[in-house]
Every structure is written in structure tokens, then in C-alpha cells.
Amino acid sequence: MNSRYKTKASLAKPLTGWRVLVPRGGPWGDHVAADLRSKGAQPIVAPMINFAPTDDAPALEAALARLAAGDFDWMTVTSATTVDVLSSHRAVVAASTRIAAVGETTAAALIAAGYRVDIVPSEDNSARGLLEEWETATSGQVPLRILTLRSEIAKPLLTEGLRRIGHDVESVVAYRTIGVPVDQRVVADVAAGTVQALLVTSGSVAQQVQDQLGPIPESTVVACIGPRTARDAAAIGLRVDVVADSPSAESLIQALVHVARSR
């Protein structure tokens, strides 16, 4: 093949020859796998975490009943999984209650499920980013009655931050995050160095990667979806090679493309 055409092909399919582990299934995993294929990669979709009902279902049901009754001024939603919980419970949000989403992915999930979104951080799509913009977005009103829905293992950064400001916050666990064993063939392939990259999309995924696949071969690129995930990964001893510029699947894949082109 003419070298000029080889160059064009490498630009169009920069991840050709790369096998990339995608640690989440469902619509997100399907979307990422399709994006990776479009860039020449061979995705390995191997969900490493799943979500289970909260251990305190009565507390969640009581909070959702109060949500429907209009007992809260605001509700905060920190993940698309929380939206799935709201949908599965057919939760009703009173017209007087406003909704804050920590990021664009969560906001999109809320809208797709038929809920409205009143606040999304404009810069930092995280609990910290939401706290930084909270006072401006709410015109400094204190105290507000706020329902924060979270994962069992989530750090209570948002709840504690809102309480420090002076708000009346009710924090309720909406779901539990559990590890999912990956196929032993995947474990063997990672150990053999035949997987060129691992995507790490959260602290809980980082923990599963470390527990099930570690130590990761030096030749395998460990790519984190954002600085917060990278910090969580480093804290448990998982090596981090590249961090996406923004917490999105597109940015994560682009970070891999950059690595591939630099090699």
C-alpha cells in the first residue's frame, strides 16, 4: 500500500490494533464501543460494576413520598444510575421542587426520563463544581430544604457542603454499587499484555480493576475519565497513565487517540 494512503488510514483509524477494555455495559458501554470501533479499536465490553437496591428501602420510599408531596425545595442527582432508581420507583417530583444535576450526563438522563433540570455546573461536572455555583444559582437563599440522593459508597461531599452553607439536607442512599467478576479470559488477556488500554470511569471501577486485574502490565494504558477518578485510582494504588480533559466518554477516547498518535 502506498505510504500516503497508510498515513490517511492511520489518521482516520488512529486506534487500529488497539484492544480496549470498556468496564461498563448498557447504553453507555454500547456507545463507547461503537465510538472505539469507528476509530479502529477492538472494544472488549466487560462490565465490572453493577447496581443493587439500597439496604434501606423504607427510607428511600419515605423520601420519595415526601418529594412527591413537595416537602423539598431542591433535589440533587449525582449520577445517571440515580435517575434509573427514580424511574423504577416512578418517582414524582413536585412542581415546586427544583432539580440540580452534577453533570451533563446526569442531566441528559433526567431529561430522557421525563424530569426537568434547573442547575448543571457550567465548568466542573462534579459535586465540588455544583457547590461552587450553588449560591449564585439559588440567589443565596438559606436555608433550603434539600434531598440528596446518592450511592452507598459515595463520599458525602455534596451533603456536607450544603449543610455547611446552612441548608436543611436529607441524605438518602438510592442504590448500592457492587463488583461484577469479569470473564477469566479477559483477566488472562490483560495479564498477558494483549489488551492495549483500560478505561476507568469511576472510583468504584478503579477498585475493581485493581482487585481483579492488577497489577496492570506497564504496556497497558490506564485511562481515567477525569481528575477525580484519577485521584481515586491513585489512592488505591492503581497506576494512571492518562486523564481525560473533561469527564465525558468522548474526551476519554480522545485521550487514548492522543496517546496512540504519539507512539
Model pLDDT for residues 32-70, shown as the tens digit of each residue: 999 999 999 999 999 998 889 999 999 999 999 999 999
Query: Residue 186 in contact with residue 46, Cβ under 8 Å?
Result: yes
Model pLDDT for residues 109-125, shown as the tens digit of each residue: 899 889 999 999 987 77
**pLDDT at residue 29, rounded to an integer:** 87
Could you report the average pLDDT of every consecutive run of 10 residues in the chain (263 residues)?
50 92 86 94 95 94 98 94 92 98 85 93 84 94 97 89 97 94 97 97 91 97 90 95 87 95 89
How is the beta sheet containing 242-243 ordered, strand by strand? 42-45, 19-22, 197-200, 221-224, 242-243
Residues 6+ apart with CB under 8 A from 101: 76, 77, 107, 110, 117, 119, 120
Full-model pTM = 0.77
